[in-house]
Structure 1
Amino acid sequence: MAKDISWQVTGDSGNTLQIGAWRFEGDGSGPKVHLQAGVHADEIAGMLVLHQLLPRLQACQDQGRLRGSVTVVPQANPFGIGQFRQGRLLGRFHDATGQNFNRAFDHSLAMERPASNLAHWQKSLVQLAGDADLVLDLHTDDEALPYLYLHRNFWPDGLALAAALKVDLVIVWDEGGDGSFEETIIAHADPRLAATIELRGQADVSDALAQQDADGLWAWLCVSGVIDEAAVISEWLGQVVDMGCMETVLAPCAGVLVFEKALGDEVEEGERFARIIRRPGDPGSEVVMHAAQTGRLVTRHRERLVSQGSVVAKFTGSRLSENWSGGTLDP
């Protein structure tokens, strides 16, 4: 049976919070893998994917076909998963501090005695993944095509993962600086591969999609030597884009957001793709938004009433964005 390695942390009110985790041990001839979902607790899709993957890994272990070890943390964030406000889960930021849950992992790891319960959770999560050869962190965007977020050191080694998951896009980055989980793992644990996987949008949670993604992860585990099973991965036909060439478009004003382009659509430089109605009823209050360069619409803002400065959309591009100033995309 899988080893239950669940652990507890103290919550903001002194309550005990449980983090479920399981480890499947193979014969030691394959790599060590760490799979987790829900660091942003309102990004649910990966939780269902790993939930479906667990019994398959158990059967594989029982049959003696597991070569490496696989650690699975299906719901990694016990703080965010309880942050319901008027029926809505707000799991991206920590209520007590306002901190993005996927930031400052490096600071927490550097503390001999973490200064807060949140930092203790972050340090324990990094330490759990610290000896893994292959590390995957499952997220979602607002509304999005499936894409892979990967450090340049891991490309093209990550090609098999992109192909197995059939992502539309791989975004390659060089520098971070905000202490995300992936960045901290790369800096302190030296894995063979670490990646953030964006499993479409927050509403894309279904058995069918989870099965597709679990099948993709399974195939990748097979070709990576973790599972003793033949797997065929189709040729990847997606796109690789440097982080600096991504165009992130912010709302110039508040209002009703109306998209005129669908996810995956190609746009020409200067082409209109959305508009914001500042004052419904006033035809002169519409603000039209145009593409900064030729590319493909990758993400869209999920809410249709947008505040000024919110991320409206992200596009691929073929040249460095004029708004690029370094750092990460927004994992």
Structure 2
Amino acid sequence: MTFAQHHLDLPGDAPGQTTRLYWYTVGPETAETKVHLQAALHADEQPGTMAIHHLLPMLRDADATGKLRARFVLFPSVNPLGLATRVLRRHIGRYDLENGVNFNRRWPDLYPAIAESVKGKLGSEAKADVATIRAAVGAWIDAQSPVTAGQKLRLHILKSAHDADIVLDLHCDDESLMHIFTSPDLMPGLQDLADRMGVAATLTAEDSGGGSFDEVLPNLFRKAQRANPDAAIPMACEAATLEYRGQADTHDAFGILDAQGLFDFFVGRGLIDLPPSAPVTPAPGPTPFEATEVLRTSKPGLLAYRVELGQEVKAGDIVADLIAMDGPEAFVGRTPIRAGTSGFILSRASAKFAVAGSAVAKIVGKDILPSRAGGYLLED
């Protein structure tokens, strides 16, 4: 058996602090394909952790019978630093409380960091070009001098993922249907993942504006391709953010279902030599993320929704009312919040008290919105 648990102790930024990161490896070390799978980078998003909890024994059992054809690296809870960010009984696992940075933002732009080191070394052999790029990234990571625990954690995660062929980052939304974020040039290649997850939407963007983890490696190879048009550089990493419903949807039943979907995805890719558990049901095809409206409030108030998840709306339809909480109409007046596009409701806010600028819903449409084109696409 190759199934093994590992850990790394991260010295804290204050005296007496140490945080332990756990991960697992399973499958042949010499396998041609490497899969990096992580959950809870936003440490308060636990459905992915539940899914990996159920996936680990499935992979362990398949390994015991010699059925694995890939090397799997799995981080069930990849951000132990974020697990500790609790304030007054509330988990603030989305942001680093030291600097306010979202844990899934500002990941490095790798190609500029290695451009000089690969200059003149890329040619007509795709496999050799990938190896050259990955070796340069690995050397760049090793040359860094991280100071804080957060910096050390990020470099460790990146070191694990940089040479993986498939990188899946498991997240969840607030209150939401299942969906995926990925790069447009990775579709329809990842349609099999969307099908096995049973997603309501796959939202694509080359650059959503925040330096998200799932964009790091596709951007590396995309920029390498554009800078070296005569080289045979493939898109050597399929990366995606998997949004497993909402934060409250951390249940065994969902975890079992989601683990089986991931397992069957790997089976379908030939990475596990077993039959799938069930026939696949096709999911909707990809949609540009720029066609998804993030509907926001213009003032504070109490949200009263008029729509359910998955409900179709037209531009101008009322998605929610905002009950006034100050002024002459306090606790009496209601202001309608209207959809700015036609589509379906992908997500809503679970916390119904909204301040000015709060995200109310994501509406997945078909047409790119002028206000979204080329802008910052994330809710953050």
Superposition TM-score, scaled by structure 2 size? 0.82
Matched, 1:268 2:314: yes
Alignment: residue pair count: 331
| Matches of 2:6 and 2:65, distance apart in 1 | 22
Alignment pair present for 1:259 and 2:305:
yes
1:182 paired with 2:210, answer no
Do 1:12 and 1:96's aligned partners in 2 also have CA atoms closer than 8 Å? no
More displaced stretch, 190-199 vs 4-13: 4-13
SS in 2 for 1:40: coil
The residue aligned with 2:165 is 133
Q: Which amino acid aligns with 1:16?
A: T
Displacement after TM superposition at 1:28 (Å): 4.1
Q: Report what 1:72 is aligned to.
A: 74
Q: Say if 1:119 and 1:283 are closer, same or farther in 2 by CA, change over 3 A.
A: closer
User: Contact 1:9/1:17 (CA < 8 Å) preserved in 2?
Assistant: yes
Of stretches 205-214 and 13-22 in structure 1, the one that deviates more from structure 2 is: 13-22
Equivalent residue for 2:256?
211
Contact persistence 2:297–2:360 (CA under 8 A): yes
Residue 50 (structure 1) aligns with = 52
User: In terms of mean alpha carbon deviation, does 43-52 or 169-178 score higher?
Assistant: 169-178
Tell me if 1:299 matches 2:331. Answer: no
Q: How far is 1:115 from its partner? A: 4.2
Q: Secondary structure at the match of 1:21?
A: strand
- Code of the residue aligned with 2:170 in structure 1: it is L
User: CA–CA distance in 2 between the matches of 1:233 and 1:326?
Assistant: 39
Give the distance between the partners of 1:279 and 1:178, measured in 2 at CA: 33
How far apart, CA to CA, are the structure 2 residues paired with 1:10 and 1:160? 40
TM-score, L = length of structure 1: 0.94
For structure 2, the residue ranges without an aligned partner over 5 or more in a row are 111-139, 222-234
Question: What is the Cα deviation at residue 162 of structure 1?
Answer: 0.3
Q: Distance in 1 between matches of 2:317 and 2:184?
A: 31
Structure 1 or 2, whichever has the larger Rg, is 2
Q: Is the 8 A contact 2:37 2:169 kept in 1?
A: yes
2:271 to 210, 226, 229: 226
SS at match of 1:6: strand
CA distance in 1, matches of 2:217, 2:8: 20
- Contact in 1 for aligned 2:5/2:23 (Cα 8 Å): yes
After superposition, give the CA deviation of every residue in 1:34-72 in whole Å (9 maximum; x if it has no partner). 110010000010001101111111111111111111111
Q: Match for residue 3 of structure 1?
A: 4
Q: Does the aligned pair in 2 maintain the 1:152–1:174 contact within 8 Å?
A: yes
Counterpart in the other structure of 2:247: 202
- Deviations along 1:216-261, one digit per CA (max 9) or x if unpaired, are 0000010112110122542313252101111011111111111110
| CA deviation after TM superposition for structure 1 residue 13, in Å | 2.4
Q: Look up the equivalent residue of 2:152 and give its one-letter code.
A: H
Q: In the superposition, relative to structure 1, how do residues 282 and 180 fare at CA in structure 2: closer, same or farther (>3 Å)?
A: closer
User: What is the rounded CA distance, in whole Å, between the counterparts of 1:209 and 1:229 in structure 2?
Assistant: 22
Conserved 8 A contact 1:301-1:312: yes
Question: What is residue 123 of structure 2 aligned with on the other side?
Answer: none
CA contact under 8 A between 1:11 and 1:79: conserved in structure 2?
Answer: no
> Are 1:317 and 2:345 an aligned pair?
no
Quote the residue 2:182 is aligned against.
150
Instruction: Find the counterpart in structure 2 of residue 248 from structure 1.
Output: 294
Going from structure 1 to structure 2, the CA distance change for 1:204 and 1:246 (only over 3 Å counts) comes to same
Q: Distance in 2 between matches of 1:140 and 1:191?
A: 26
Q: Which is further off, 65-74 or 1-10?
A: 1-10
CA displacement 1:61-94 (0-9 Å, x = unmatched): 1111111111110000011101111212110001
Alignment RMSD (CA, Å): 2.0
CA distance in structure 2 between the partners assigned to 1:119 and 1:105 by the alignment: 10
Q: Deviations over 1:142-191 (max 9, x none)?
A: 11110011101110000100001101110011224432211123234764
SS of alignment partner, residue 80 of structure 2: coil
- Aligned residue for 2:336, secondary structure, equals strand
- Flag structure 1 segments of 5+ consecutive residues without an equivalent: none
What is the identity percentage for the equivalent residue pairs of Structure 1 and Structure 2?
Answer: 29
Q: Which residue of 1 aligns with 2:231?
A: none
Residue correspondence of structure 1 range 79-90 to structure 2 within 5 A: 79-90=81-92
1:168 matched to which residue of 2?
200
CA distance in 2, matches of 1:320, 1:161: 24
SS at match of 2:77: coil
Task: Give the Å deviation of 1:30.
Answer: 5.2
